[in-house]
Structure 1
């Protein structure tokens, strides 16, 4: 409770639109700390997957439906809102490094190079608007004011009237994927309710474009992210707090992690072999994951590594998204299982992604499973993802795959590893020297062998990644963030 009104219970709306937000807000120490504060917590999710959490909690926790489907239908039927949302995706303050969204825009142009006259006129108009908005903070602020005036349907009007919340918590500015967070922030402003965004991922400030609304406060992972929110999003520094990374807390609690013996037993691994973990990338942008499995599986069989090894392939949750429910997606999944059959020491780990209207929803056990796997691994192989900084937390050597596989797998312009390498957040990590960048098949095998021979190679550089990207309050970030939220009441 706040010191000035110690006995007054206040209400917090916790907006949880998809599984990654559920992991961050509900499966870390953030939710239990908020729950135990005594304030009323209202969980807003798109369907009833997390209603049971509210029902099993004390009386101060309730569940209500987040009107995702209504919001998406509204956007679809409002060409103006749809157009401006697309424009915003390519807009940030041009005084900052815009490499990430510049590449996104190049992909957009490539995908629409053969469009009709009407679409070309729309692209020309959007290009002009994008350049104007990038150049002027005043115009960016004006755009948000116009959108809030014209497109504020109030889908949760009854909930605001019923609960009279003091604070709305979102995990984005409404600029990540199909997020409708900007509608909640707009509704909060309409009702005179404070809002705060707790950022989900390290790439969100620089690679997702301009939000559809700005909250009153922001909680970031790191000081680096705080500076990005200021410079990219025109946000005042005095309304930003740095809390750390809530779902990384488990890495500071090694006594709570599954042991190496438990992990090896659970996934059928050989205790006499070194464990190479391959953290696959989203197949939407990198369809060559199976090619990397084949390269490493063959190298193990052909004794190309200086020590006996085995490969555990961790499938990215986006393998189970609707975008992969096509012929190409099915072929990728078949290739994984074919490699598992063909190579004795290749094992596939499929995350437990629930079949749910809440995209990418996974049980809490996935957090400890992944942490235990990573803690038991001798080397991580991946493609400049969040796993890179998680490996650095545990001082696990990191090899980043920086090449592509079979050209036949490429079906759209976004599938380009160079785009990922150029992303601002990835460049920060690469520049530390804490990761090896494998430029081809031979380089990949050589890089793995270097770390097998000397696991402490680049340990100092991995520590730089750890301090730069993993935030303060290691082991207590979830509690810290929850208390920062409570302090805003």
Structure 2
């Protein structure tokens, strides 16, 4: 038993699920620890009311103060350090995802940014090949350590600070302050593609826990983590899938969206909208369904991406275009959730029953290589990654577009394809053929899906939350990094 205090940074919807809606929190509290969760100030009271229990305290993450410090203290230097940490991981692992972001930056940068790009590319080249250069960058950034959370450190005297990234987001300031005070720090990997898409830590972090041996190798080889400092604990957020905790009944779910129980359900989760429109994928699917052109009578449920709700954006325009397309298509429906609030956006913990039920009852699930290919494989449903390009991409001056057909070599995308956990469609004809295959024989690729989940999630018995909580508790009780 311990009477120590742990700080947990839950700075987005997925981290709310990871820490507060799994066995991670109960495992920590059962040890006698006091847990202080820091989250978006805009929903602090809402989170406190929903998860209220002894020894759990909710405080604000002070995003406004973080932004002010970032903007007023050598803003350009901090900005480019952040970018170099992102792009500058070792080339000992697949860098294709980072290369896509580098191309985007070169295309969308301001005139001054474009002038700096040769230097940035040169520094990226060096960082990817020199561990000493990477260490120098990580050490240099420590000079930007504000005192945003000083009063909270003094008030609660934490023995451990845990964040949902190793300082890739605003959590870098909290973690830097902890390190400056000599307090041990740890991070968890919330997202499937995080270790391959974001690289160098934004703060000194002593320990990290990840999903699998695959992610551990990405952290060790790509981001210079010491193997003994990387723990494989599985993915707590998926315990509810393995246990069936969140799943509604089929009747309830179909009634929620006005679905026809006599038609097969196709579900499409929009993805990758930052780089490329989803519209061509949606149009091809909607037309196949509306025209009853498949082997079975079907209906389509389209899950919009969080970016589709950004006011005035290209993505919002695409969402409106989708709404217009499906008008008059009675068997095509949209999922449009209500946001949690604050800055945590859409599709947070409130969305888990919706998401779990959509995957569980889909006769075929479709997306563009999103993390939901992993989640759907847990439910053993057929999966299709649809990569039909919209001619010209976004067709907007200054906006970078990347062909969906180019992204298959990105690390997580490559693993999905190599595992044979699903199929990939590059045009409407291929899409139709794959859908008909899965509609006629849904057991196709089932063995590959099960192997894929074992490799990516490690623990498939719903124990990841307990395992991760136990690991964090051991760090708390150890009392030293």
> Could you tell me the TM-score, scaled by structure 2's length?
0.92
The 5-angstrom pairing of residues 169-248 of structure 1 reads 169-175=162-168, 179-248=169-238
- Does 1:486 find its partner at 2:481? no
Change (3 A) 1:361 1:170: farther
1:5 alignment counterpart: none
2:420 alignment counterpart: 433
Change (3 A) 1:266 1:48: same
2:287 alignment counterpart: 298
Q: How many equivalent pairs are there? A: 471
Deviations 1:449-488 (A, max 9, x none): 1101111111222122111112215312112211111111
CA contact (8 A) 1:18 1:361 kept: no
In the aligned structure 1, how far is the partner of 2:68 from the partner of 2:410? 32
Change (3 A) 1:190 1:255: closer
2:31 alignment counterpart: 37
> Could you tell me the TM-score, scaled by structure 1's length?
0.91
Change (3 A) 1:327 1:83: closer
Deviations 1:401-437 (A, max 9, x none): 1221253644322443145323111111111122111
The 5-angstrom pairing of residues 354-365 of structure 1 reads 354=340, 356-360=341-345, 362=347, 364-365=349-350
Secondary structure at the aligned position of 2:327 is classed as helix
2:449 alignment counterpart: 462
In the aligned structure 1, how far is the partner of 2:419 from the partner of 2:342? 39
Deviations 1:39-95 (A, max 9, x none): 111111131413344356234111222122211222222222222112222100122
Choose the corresponding residue for 2:307, options 308, 314, 318: 318
Choose the corresponding residue for 1:275, options 262, 265, 273: 265
Secondary structure at the aligned position of 1:487 is classed as helix
CA contact (8 A) 1:103 1:419 kept: no
Secondary structure at the aligned position of 1:407 is classed as coil
Secondary structure at the aligned position of 1:311 is classed as strand
In the aligned structure 1, how far is the partner of 2:159 from the partner of 2:90? 31
Secondary structure at the aligned position of 2:221 is classed as helix
Cα offset, 1:387, TM superposition: 0.8
- Does 1:336 find its partner at 2:325? no
1:353 alignment counterpart: 339
Deviations 1:325-351 (A, max 9, x none): 225334322223223422110011112
2:356 alignment counterpart: 371
CA contact (8 A) 2:11 2:40 kept: yes
Deviations 1:249-297 (A, max 9, x none): 12212376212122112211111110111111143333233x3333222
CA contact (8 A) 2:281 2:388 kept: no
CA contact (8 A) 1:297 1:311 kept: yes
1:134 alignment counterpart: 128
The 5-angstrom pairing of residues 358-437 of structure 1 reads 358-360=343-345, 362=347, 364-407=349-392, 409-411=394-396, 412-437=399-424
Choose the corresponding residue for 1:23, options 17, 20, 43: 17
Higher mean alpha-carbon deviation, 437-446 vs 398-407, is at: 398-407
5+ long unaligned stretches in structure 2: 477-481
Choose the corresponding residue for 1:75, options 55, 60, 70: 70
Secondary structure at the aligned position of 1:42 is classed as strand
Change (3 A) 1:298 1:95: closer
Choose the corresponding residue for 1:157, options 139, 145, 150: 150
In the aligned structure 1, how far is the partner of 2:448 from the partner of 2:283? 30
In the aligned structure 1, how far is the partner of 2:57 from the partner of 2:246? 30
Cα root mean square deviation, aligned: 2.0
Secondary structure at the aligned position of 2:339 is classed as coil
